Amino acid sequence: MLGAIAGDIIGSVYEHHNTKSADFPLFVPRSMFTDDTVLTVALADSILNKVPYINKLQEYYNRYPQAGYGGFFHQWARSADPRPYNSFGNGSAMRVSPVGFAYADLDRVLQEAERSAAVTHNHPEGIKGAQATAAAIYLARTGRSKEEIRAYIEATFNYNLSRPFHEIWQTYRYNETCQGTVPEAITAFMVSTDFDDAIRKAVSLGGDSDTLACITGGIAEAFYDGVPEGITRKVFEILDTRLAAVVRTFYGEYQARKIEEYL
């Protein structure tokens, strides 16, 4: 989960001012958390406290109403009777990383990823994007190789993860859909050499940089066994006290072996 938050914060500066270079400062004074982080922490809080996803998503929206949500989510979150709006936007995938880390078997991960998505993103592509992201995290954290992850995602979700990264990089443009974001974010992870490189490759695609890096970051954290200490420290400097407390509690509950890295 921290990898996804780091990706969001690092990518936040480049969302509306894209860079096609991987050579950029990871953190600058304008680096901030966005709705990607807020809703990721909302799902973590929901899992920790066994509260329905819909309740925590609305609660966190009300706590952080200016975090940069899409228009349909604004309407949904403000509704007294929120109903899913058939979205296939990448919001279902950007917030799902806690699901990939919290559950002990792949079937449960897929089930909870669908449930977390369907409260808003009940279009098949919205659900698929969340499931593919959460599954990649689960497979990465349970020791599967990149080729095993690629084979599973391609066979199960019909995403093409075999396109050369440089070809994607040359033509990629801003895309807010799951089907136009998730395969590219996973591919950035696939061709990376470490966590830092994964984030840099995701941001260098351009487009919806914070969400691309958020999705890539969650998977990269799982595969590379954590987030580098320097990045972790900067993330906690940027998070507010409330969000940081939920992140720490989540790691204490679901990744106790690594909790000392996040204190």
69 near 122, Cβ under 8 Å? no
pLDDT in tens, 208-239: 999 999 999 999 999 999 999 999 999 999 99
- What is the phi/psi pair of residue 67, to 5°? -80, -5
Question: From CA 6, how far away is CA 31, in angstroms rounded?
Answer: 10
What pLDDT was estimated at residue 261? 53
pLDDT interval class at 164 (50, 70, 90): very high
Spell out the domain ranges in the chain: 2-17+31-61+88-262
Q: What is the pLDDT of residue 134?
A: 98
CATH 1.10.4080.10 holds for 2-17+31-61+88-262: yes
Nearest-angstrom CA–CA distance, 254 and 198: 24
Question: Which pTM value belongs to this model?
Answer: 0.96
Q: How confident is the model at residue 16 (pLDDT cuts 50, 70, 90)?
A: confident
Provide the β-strand partners of residue 177. Answer: 89
Contacts of 227 by beta carbon, 8 Å cutoff, 6+ apart:
2, 3, 6, 195, 217, 221, 235, 261
pLDDT computed for residue 254 by the predictor: 85
The dihedral formed by the CA atoms of 198, 47, 119 and 238, expressed in degrees to the nearest 10: -50
pLDDT at 157 over 80: yes
